[in-house]
C-alpha cells in the first residue's frame, strides 16, 4: 500500500481574512495563503484589495475583496457578518492593516496619537473581537497580529508607532491566554524594516534625490545588511496559521535580520 503524506502548511478548506492586503506584506500573505489552498477574504481601506484578488484568481486561487476601514466599528461588524454569511466560518485572521508615524514624543501631536491608535490598536481589537465570535461557533481558529520589532526594543523617532505596536503585543498575549482552552491560537510577528511600497513612498516624499542613500541606511539597521521582504514575513505567517504550529500560542516572533542579537 502506497502512503501519501499530506503537504506541509496545507490550508485547504480554510477561510482566511487578511487586513491591509491591498499591497505590501498583506498582499504577500494573501497570495501565499491562496497558493496553499485557503479561500481568501482580502480586506483593505482602498480598492487595492481588488488588485490582490485579481492576482490570486489569475493563479487559480479563490478570493473575494472587501473594502473596510478597520478603525470603524460598523464597517468591521458588517464585513465579518458578510464573511460568515458567505463562507459559514472563519478559520484564520491576519491583522496586518496598520499605519506609521516618524517622530519623538515632542514631534507627536495628540492628533497623531489618536490617528495611529485608531488603526493600529482599535482596528486589531475590532477585527479580533469579530473573528473570535465567529471562531467560537465552529472549530476555533488562528489569529496572527502584525506587531513590530518596535514592540520589543526601542526604535529612535518612533514614539507613537512603538506605543501602538506594544499594545498589539499585549493584546496578542491576552487573547492567547483567554482562549487557549477554546481552540483559538493567537501569535504576533515582529518584523524589523521591510521593503514595501510604503517605505519607497516615504523615501520619495521625505528624501527626494537621496532615496538610495537613505535606503542603504534603512538596510544597515539590520545586521544581516538588508531589509526583510514581504514574502519572508508571509512565510512566517503561513507557519503560524498552519496546523504545523498547533502547539504555538501567545508568542511574539521576531523576523529582524539580527537586530535583537546585535
From the candidates 3, 117, 161, 239, which is the catalytic residue? 161
Only one residue has cell 526601542, namely 154
Cα torsion 164, 166, 169, 173: sign? negative
Q: How far is CA 156 from CA 101, 102, 103, 200, in A?
A: 12, 9, 8, 19
For 19, the 3-state DSSP assignment is: strand
Residue 166: exposure state from Cβ atoms within 10 A (0-12, 13-18, ≥19) = middle
Cβ contacts of 210 within 8 Å, gap of 6 or more: 203
Known catalytic residue: 161? yes
Listed as own residue / partner, the contacts of 67-71 with beta carbons closer than 8 Å and 24 or more positions apart are: 67/43, 68/19, 68/43, 68/44, 69/45, 70/19, 70/20, 70/43, 70/45, 70/95, 70/97, 70/119, 70/122, 70/123, 70/124, 70/126, 70/127, 71/118, 71/119, 71/122, 71/123, 71/126
Indicate which residues carry an active-site annotation: 161
Amino acid at each position: 500500500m502506497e502512503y501519501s503524506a499530506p503537504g506541509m502548511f496545507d490550508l485547504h478548506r480554510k477561510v482566511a481574512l487578511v487586513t491591509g492586503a491591498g499591497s505590501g506584506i498583506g498582499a504577500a500573505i494573501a497570495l501565499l495563503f491562496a497558493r496553499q489552498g485557503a479561500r481568501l477574504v482580502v480586506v483593505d481601506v482602498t480598492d487595492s484589495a481588488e488588485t490582490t484578488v485579481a492576482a490570486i484568481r489569475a493563479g487559480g486561487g479563490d478570493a473575494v475583496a472587501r473594502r473596510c476601514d478597520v478603525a470603524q466599528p460598523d464597517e468591521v461588524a458588517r464585513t465579518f457578518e458578510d464573511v460568515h454569511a458567505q463562507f459559514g466560518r472563519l478559520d484564520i485572521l491576519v491583522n496586518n492593516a496598520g499605519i506609521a508615524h516618524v517622530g519623538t514624543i515632542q514631534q507627536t501631536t495628540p492628533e497623531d496619537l489618536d490617528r495611529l491608535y485608531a488603526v493600529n490598536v482599535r482596528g486589531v481589537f475590532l477585527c479580533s473581537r469579530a473573528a473570535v465570535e465567529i471562531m467560537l461557533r465552529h472549530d476555533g481558529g488562528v489569529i496572527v497580529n502584525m506587531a513590530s520589532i518596535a514592540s520589543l526594543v526601542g526604535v529612535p523617532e518612533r514614539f507613537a508607532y512603538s506605543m501602538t505596536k506594544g499594545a498589539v503585543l499585549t493584546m496578542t498575549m491576552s487573547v492567547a491566554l483567554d482562549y487557549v482552552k477554546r481552540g483559538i491560537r493567537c501569535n504576533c510577528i515582529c518584523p524589523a524594516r521591510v521593503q514595501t511600497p510604503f517605505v519607497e513612498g516615504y523615501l520619495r516624499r521625505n528624501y527626494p534625490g537621496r532615496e538610495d542613500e537613505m535606503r542603504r541606511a534603512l538596510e544597515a539597521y539590520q545586521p544581516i545588511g538588508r531589509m526583510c521582504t514581504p514574502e519572508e514575513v508571509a512565510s512566517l505567517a503561513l507557519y503560524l496559521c498552519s496546523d504545523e504550529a498547533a502547539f504555538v500560542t501567545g508568542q511574539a516572533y521576531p523576523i529582524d535580520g539580527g537586530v535583537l542579537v546585535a
